[in-house]
């Protein structure tokens, strides 16, 4: 998304008035603790449990601390805001920086929201108002950076472990960094999983990934076995055979939410080789700056004669269903 659209984009992601008031009170408490707010987002949860996926990059807290140590004394009265989906497991690793979390901000939610689990949104709002933001390889903190008009520096982990972190512009960068760079891997290889997990999480975490999380991840891909379907193959994007044709492709939003780089791979290897297709597309990621193809672009990229059907019920404006059937030609 071009920077010229930033004002429109930011206007779409503002909290409702009563929640905004409570969040701004919490932000005032955060700002009262120092002059330079450094926000760090550490995503673990599903990133640890899905080691195969090509963008699940989990840095050790030690690397974040080492990065902080390099800049901390050069900052004016710095305060560390720590945000994580696994806060209790990581917070004490940052004790030397006296981290502040959403729990310290005394945010009084509106009565109608008190039973909702919206701690994640408190983190999101605070990250969007920090002076320096260090993200995970995650859309969550990336979008928070897109909304941030205050920060002087945005930093993210990347796959080059010799440098570990890199400065980025959220309005001129891919939201997710995939292993493989220009030739992204939708799924990591077995060797990739062993190496990446060992380097970033250590030996025991590697064993846990190998014997617990990886088997569970593969089991998810084999649910059709329970239906006793015969001759079923499970292929990742890296396993697709050359010169393979297909009878039918079905996609429920997922394809339309990928980056153009990933979409091009699927277009070349599957979509344009499928006689029939049924694809529900939402284009949310196009408007959100992910870099997916727009509706007009996607229609021109598909080599088949497609029909556009309305989504029923319509779950998001501009959603469509793309269908084709080359067997009738």
Q: Give the model confidence (pLDDT) of 17-52 as tens digits.
A: 999 999 999 999 999 999 999 999 999 988 998 888
Whether residues 151 and 57 share a domain: the answer is yes
Local confidence band at 67 (pLDDT 50, 70, 90 cut-offs):
very high
Q: Is residue 187 in some structural domain?
A: no
**33 and 136 fall within a common domain:** yes
Average pLDDT over residues 5-23: 89
Domain limit, last residue, from 167, 185, 213 = 167
Count CB-CB contacts under 10 A for residue 194.
Answer: 17
pLDDT tens digits, residue range 182-210?
888 888 888 898 899 999 998 888 888 87
**Number of domains present in the structure of the chain:** 2
Q: Taking the alpha carbons of 296, 301, 303, 306 in that order, is the dihedral positive or negative?
A: negative
Q: Tell whether 163 and 16 lie within a shared domain.
A: yes
pLDDT for 70 equals 97
Residue 239 has a pLDDT of: 75
Q: Strand 132-134 vs strand 78-84: parallel, antiparallel, or unpaired?
A: unpaired
Distance of CA 270 to the CA centre of its chain: 24
Domain boundary among 167, 189, 218: 167
Residues 296 and 147 both lie in one domain: no
pLDDT at 88 over 70: yes
The Cα–Cα gap between 142 and 113 comes to 25
Q: What is the bridge-based pairing of β-strands 320-325 and 274-281?
A: antiparallel
* Distance, CA of 113 to CA of 20 (rounded, Å): 12
Same domain, 127 and 255: no
More confident: 229 or 329: 329
Domain that holds residue 117: 3-167
Three-state secondary-structure class, residue 161: coil
Exposure string of 252-263, with b = 16+ CB inside 10 Å and e = fewer, is ebebbbbbbebb
Which residues neighbour 326 within 8 Å (Cβ) at sequence distance 6 or greater?
275, 276, 304, 305
CATH classification at residue 317: 3.40.50.150
Select, from the ranges 154-158, 252-256, 279-283, the one with the highest average predicted confidence (pLDDT). 154-158
- Residue 230, in any domain of the structure: no
Percent of the chain with pLDDT over 90: 56
In this structure, the answer to whether residues 12 and 153 fall within a common structural domain is yes
Contacts for 121-125 with beta carbons within 8 Å, 24 or more apart?
A: 121/15, 122/23, 122/26, 123/41, 123/83, 125/15, 125/23, 125/27
Question: DSSP code of 2?
Answer: -
Confidence of residue 221 (pLDDT cuts 50, 70, 90): low
Q: Rounded to whole angstroms, how far apart are CA atoms 134 and 136?
A: 7
Better-predicted residue by pLDDT, 293 or 141: 141
CA nearest neighbour of 118 among 135, 106, 102: 102
Higher per-residue pLDDT: 21 or 236: 21
In this structure, the answer to whether residues 146 and 10 fall within a common structural domain is yes
Residue 154 and residue 31 in one domain: yes
Output the CA–CA distances (angstroms, integers) from residue 95 to 21, 27, 78, in the order listed.
30, 21, 14
pLDDT of residue 218: 57
CA angle 65, 66, 70 (to 5 degrees): 115
CATH for 120: 3.40.50
Indicate yes or no: pTM above 0.75: no
Same-domain pairing of 263 and 118: no
SS3 200: helix
């Amino acid at each position: 998304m071009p920077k010229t659209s930033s004002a429109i984009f930011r206007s779409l992601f503002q909290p409702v008035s009563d929640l905004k008031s409570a969040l701004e009170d919490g932000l005032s408490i955060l700002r009262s603790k120092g002059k330079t707010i450094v926000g760090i987002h550490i995503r673990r949860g599903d990133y640890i449990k899905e080691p195969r996926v090509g963008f699940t990059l989990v840095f050790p807290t030690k690397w974040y601390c080492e990065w902080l140590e390099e800049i901390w004394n050069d900052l004016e009265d710095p305060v560390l805001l720590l945000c994580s989906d696994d806060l209790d497991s990581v917070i004490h690793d940052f004790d030397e920086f006296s981290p502040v979390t959403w729990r310290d901000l005394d945010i009084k939610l509106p009565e109608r929201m008190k039973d909702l689990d919206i701690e994640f949104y408190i983190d999101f709002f605070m990250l969007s108002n920090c002076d320096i933001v260090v993200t995970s390889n995650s859309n969550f903190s990336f979008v928070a950076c897109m909304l941030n008009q205050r920060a002087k520096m945005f930093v993210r982990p990347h796959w080059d472990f010799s440098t570990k972190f890199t400065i980025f512009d959220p309005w001129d960068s891919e939201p997710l960094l995939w292993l493989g760079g220009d030739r992204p891997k939708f799924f990591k290889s077995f060797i990739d999983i062993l190496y990446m997990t060992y380097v970033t999480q250590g030996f025991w975490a590697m064993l846990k990934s190998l014997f617990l999380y990886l088997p569970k991840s593969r089991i998810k891909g084999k649910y059709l076995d329970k239906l006793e379907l015969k001759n079923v193959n499970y292929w990742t994007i890296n396993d697709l055979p050359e010169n393979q044709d297909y009878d039918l492709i079905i996609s429920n939003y997922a394809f339309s939410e990928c980056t153009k780089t990933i979409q091009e791979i699927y277009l070349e290897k599957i979509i344009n080789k499928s006689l029939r297709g049924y694809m529900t597309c939402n284009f949310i990621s196009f408007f959100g700056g992910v870099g997916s193809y727009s509706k007009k672009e996607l229609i021109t990229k598909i080599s088949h004669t497609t029909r556009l059907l309305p989504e029923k019920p319509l779950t998001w404006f501009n959603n469509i269903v793309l269908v084709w059937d080359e067997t009738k030609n």
